Structure 1
Amino acid sequence: MSKRKASLESAPKLASIFTKKVKKLAPADDGSQKSWKFVCWNVAGLRACVKKSDFSEILKEQPDIVFLGETKCKEWPNEIEEKFKDYSKTLVISTEKNGGYAGVGMLSKVAPLKIHKGIGDPEFDTAGRLIIAEFVEFFFVGSYVPNSGAKLVNLEKRGRWEALLTEKLKSMTMTKPVIYGGDLNVAHEEIDLKNPESNRNKTAGFTDQERGWFTEMLEMGFTDTFRKMHPEEKKYTFWSYLANAREKDVGWRLDYYVVSDRIMEKVKKSEIMSDVKGSDHAPIVLHIEF
């Protein structure tokens, strides 16, 4: 496992490739807010998503923080600017494919103390896959994890990402609790996908390596909130566009909230918004009270 001991602290900084800054429309976090609601959603292209969804289901949840993955855009669409006009906004733009690849964004009713964009390694940060936001009570880490690819061609690269990320999570949780959410691109257990046998070690997201990396992260002192609160529930967050997979509920649970063990008891809700359309992923919601 020596290849997975890479330290994020020694990785080169790439702040210069990101030009978008936080729009501080919201008040700064002063520690007074104790009840927080999060929504994470892989939108599979934000401009396309706002044409399919008016985000009314998201807004109905009255989220304090919204994290969007796979945004594929260089600026916030007007629809998002209008619907979330009172939120601070942070957009991490991919430098690949003229911004039309990967990318993540965060909207927050309470402005974070600090924002860090990227994991700190050029192999990944040109795609814009990570936001770390520090608040008084916690760190929020929003991620769109690299896919291991067709025929697992990117599995080794995925391993390097996991090494960097888990070291960073370990460091942060020693300082204050961590809430880690987004499309983590792994089905951890057999219950987390419809057809485990036909996909085992053949399909990205359900290899022994990816599942093992997730287990290692949990063993460092983290909890998969949905599985903890719904130990037997078969519910998915992703369905292929092929073969009417969503209508048949042939899916995968790829989107998660993982929290530091010591705050798991503070989690009041961890759910999948299966009925929300607009992407091949469903949004996920977390409610926590500090």
Structure 2
Amino acid sequence: MRVITFNTQGIEQAADKGFFDWMVEQDADVICLQNLKAREYQLDGDRYHPEGYHSYFFEAFEDGFSGVAIYTRHLPKAIMTGLGFEQCDTQGRFIQADFDKVSVSSLTIPSGLKSEEAQASKMEYLEHFKNHLKKTLRKRRDFIFTGTFNIAHKPMDLSNWYVNQKVSGFLEEERAWMDEVYGEMGFVDAFREVNKAERQYTWWPDYNRAWTLNEGARSDYQVTTANLRKSIKAARIDRDHRFSEHCPLIIDYAIDI
């Protein structure tokens, strides 16, 4: 099973740059998109519904917020949207597709870069999401959580990390949250399970200059339950195509959907 996650920063502009042409060439089973910046009714054209894929959307209630989507070649048993708390559900930040053996979700965690209030909201969101992760550990199935977490976990995941320790996305409390997810809770950073290379980033904040110099952050993840650890076979970030300030993260699993 091949799973792709990608933050479009606007699905319309990503489509204009050829994202869907690229997508259908990847032989992916599940594609998780974030930050659509569009209403579902605006996405009813053929360009947003490639042949052979089922598509599911969860839009934000207000303009300017996230919106997430899942495209899949396999008909899910069920689709779940939202996590039951306002910040997630009104901002369109979570959608999950359930298959026979595994559930795959597309999600975004808010950025805290704008203000202290935004950072406080982000930390509140992380607490709610951690509670959801704990609940999934009691389920009799495996999970892959994909999307933009807006956190660089380790120094190797962020360029110029030393001067960014007081910046949202690399704060001590944010990295401690990820330590708990990967440590005590037992979840797996699928990319790092098979790819230990440095300077592996998925987001470049200053689009042209940072991209050229490869000064960015690994802020997009695929996080799996522990049972899937040995199923992770390959992982890569596609820097050859520029559909937004983020790059697609592609991971192959030895899983039959």
TM-score computed with the length of structure 2 as normaliser? 0.92
Matches within 5 A, 1:30-179: 36-75=1-40, 76=43, 78-82=45-49, 84-97=50-63, 100-175=64-139, 176-179=141-144
After TM superposition, give the deviation of residue 205 of structure 1 in Å.
0.7
CA distance in 2, matches of 1:208, 1:87: 40
Paired residues in the alignment total: 251
CA gap of 1:247–1:152, structure 2 versus 1, over 3 A, is farther
Residue deviations 1:154-212 (CA, integer Å, cap 9, x gap) = 222112211221222222233211111111110000000111011112x2211111111
Superposition deviation, residue 79 in structure 1: 5.0
Residue 54 of structure 1 deviates from its aligned partner by 4.1
Q: Identify which of 231, 242, 251 aligns with 1:266.
A: 231
Whether 1:181 and 2:146 are equivalent positions in the alignment is yes
Give the percent of matched residue pairs that are identical in Structure 1 and Structure 2. Answer: 25
Q: Partners in 2 of 1:140 and 1:242 — Cα distance?
A: 29
Contact 2:187 2:224 in 1 (8 A): yes
- Pick from 274, 277, 280 the counterpart of residue 242 of structure 2: 277
Instruction: Give the deviation of 1:140 after TM superposition.
Output: 1.2
Given that residues 53 and 277 in structure 1 are in contact (C-alpha distance below 8 angstroms), is that contact kept between their aligned partners in structure 2?
A: no
Q: Is the 8 A contact 2:207 2:245 kept in 1?
A: no
Distance 1:54 1:42, change over 3 A: closer
Distance 2:67 2:56 in 1: 11
Q: Identify if the C-alpha distance between structure 1 residues 145 and 52 changes in structure 2 by more than 3 Å, giving closer, same or farther.
A: same
Letter in 1 for 2:62: E
Task: Give the corresponding residue for 2:252.
Answer: 287
Q: Give, in whole Å, the separation in 2 of the partners of 1:168 and 1:44.
A: 25
Structure 1 segments of 4+ aligned residues over 6 angstroms from their partners: none
Pick which of 36-45 and 167-176 moved more. Answer: 167-176
Q: Whole-Å Cα distance in 2 between the matches of residues 184 and 267 of structure 1?
A: 20
| 2:20/2:48 contact within 8 Å kept | no
Which whole-Å CA distance do the structure 2 matches of 1:257 and 1:154 have between them?
Answer: 24
- Structure 2 match to 1:205: 169
Structure 1: runs of 5+ lacking an equivalent:
1-35
Q: Give 1:243 deviation, angstroms.
A: 6.3
CA distance in 1, matches of 2:126, 2:36: 21
CA distance in 2, matches of 1:55, 1:72: 16
Greater mean deviation of Cα atoms: 159-168 or 109-118: 159-168
Deviation at 1:151, TM superposition (A): 4.1
Q: CA deviation at 1:275?
A: 1.4
Distance 1:103 1:62 in 2: 24
Pairwise CA distance, 1:242: 5.3
1:65-100 CA-partner distances (Å, limit 9, x unpaired): 111100011122635334x23211111111112xx4
